[in-house]
Structure 1
Amino acid sequence: MTRTDKPEAWDERTTLLTMLQYTRDTAAEKCRDLADEHVGAAPLPGSPLMSLGGVVNHLRWVEHSWIENRFVGGPDLGPWTDEEPDREFSLGATTPLAQTLAEYAEQAERTDAIIAGLDLDDRSQTPLRSGEHPTLRWVVLHLIEENSRHNGHLDILRELADGRTGD
C-alpha cells in the first residue's frame, strides 16, 4: 500500500478519512527500520516521556479514547491511571516497536469499522468540557490534528535518533 494524501474521490468523507489514514501511515513511516535502541530514547530534556515508541502508543490510545470511548460511549480501556495519566507514553517506550505499530494498526481498523456505520453529523455520546457533543466530523478532524502534531514530534525524534529525515 502506498502512503498518499490524495483521496480516491473528492467528497468530504473520503477526503477526511484519506487524510486520517495518511497521518497514521506517516507515523508508521517515521518508525520504519528504526533500531531497537532508539524506540524508548527520550532525548528532549523538557519532555522525558517523548520517545518514538511512546508517541506511537499515545496515538493508538488517543484514537481509542476519542472513538470507542467518547464517541460511541464504550468503556475506557486506556492504560492511564490517576497516578500515571500519561502511562501510554511510558509503556510505548518499553514495548517492542513492531507490537506497538501492530496495535496501532488494529486500533485504526476498529476505528474505521465504527466510523463506516456513522454519519459525519452524528454526535458523540460523551460531551466536551463545554457540554457540547461534537460531531464525528469534528472528532475525525481532531484526530488528524493530533496525529499531524505528533508526526512533527516523530520527525524530530527520528532525526535525533539516527539522522533520518523525510516527509
Structure 2
Amino acid sequence: MEQRWLRWGFRAEQVPAPWGDRGPEDRWYVGPQETAAELLAALHTGGKHTRAIVSGTPLSTVAAPGGRFPDDGTPRPTLGWILFHVLQEYARHAGHLDIVRELTDGVTD
C-alpha cells in the first residue's frame, strides 16, 4: 500500500504491480513458499522507502504526474494528504484484525 501511494503515487515511479496483484485472480496473494520472515522483511523494506521519500519533503509538496496521478489537469494530492490517507488505511486494517481476533477468542476488552 505504501508502494502504491508513495512510490507510484507521490513520486510517480514505475513499480511492478502497484495495486498489489501477486497471484492468479487475487490481490495480495501469499504463495505457499513465502515465509513470515520474508513478508516482514518486505514490509520493513517498504518502510525504508517511505522514510526516504518523506524525510525532508514538505507536506505541501504535490504528487508528481505520471504514476498514479496523470498530468491531465486533475488536481494531484499533496504529500500531507497522501500520508493522512495511508494512516487511515492502516487504521482500518488494524481494526479489521481486531475484529478477527475478537471473533476468534471472544475477548472484547
Alignment TM-score, normalising by the size of structure 2: 0.74
Q: Give a deviation string over 1:58-99, Cα, whole Å, max 9, x none.
A: xxxx10011011110101223427x73x521x2278732222
Give the Cα–Cα distance (whole angstroms) in 2 for the partners of residues 101 and 77 of structure 1: 19
Give the Cα–Cα distance (whole angstroms) in 2 for the partners of residues 158 and 93 of structure 1: 23
Match of 2:86 in 1: 143
CA separation of 1:69 and 1:160: change in aligned 2, threshold 3 A = same
- Say if 1:155 and 1:165, in contact at 8 Å, map to a contact too: no
CA separation of 1:95 and 1:154: change in aligned 2, threshold 3 A = farther
Residue 154 (structure 1) shift: 1.2
For residue 14 of structure 2, the aligned residue among 56, 60, 75 is: 75
1:116 aligns with 2:59: no
Alignment TM-score, normalising by the size of structure 1: 0.51
Root-mean-square deviation (CA), in Å? Answer: 2.9
For residue 27 of structure 2, the aligned residue among 76, 87, 95 is: 87
Residue 102 (structure 1) shift: 1.9
Higher helix share: 1
Task: Tell me the amino acid that sits aligned with residue 71 of structure 1.
Answer: F
CA separation of 1:93 and 1:71: change in aligned 2, threshold 3 A = farther
- Say if 2:11 and 2:63, in contact at 8 Å, map to a contact too: yes
Aligned length in residues: 101
Unaligned runs of 5+ in 2: none
Match of 1:157 in 2: 100
Task: Tell me the amino acid that sits aligned with residue 146 of structure 1.
Answer: E
Unaligned runs of 5+ in 1: 1-61
Q: Percent same amino acid at aligned positions? A: 32
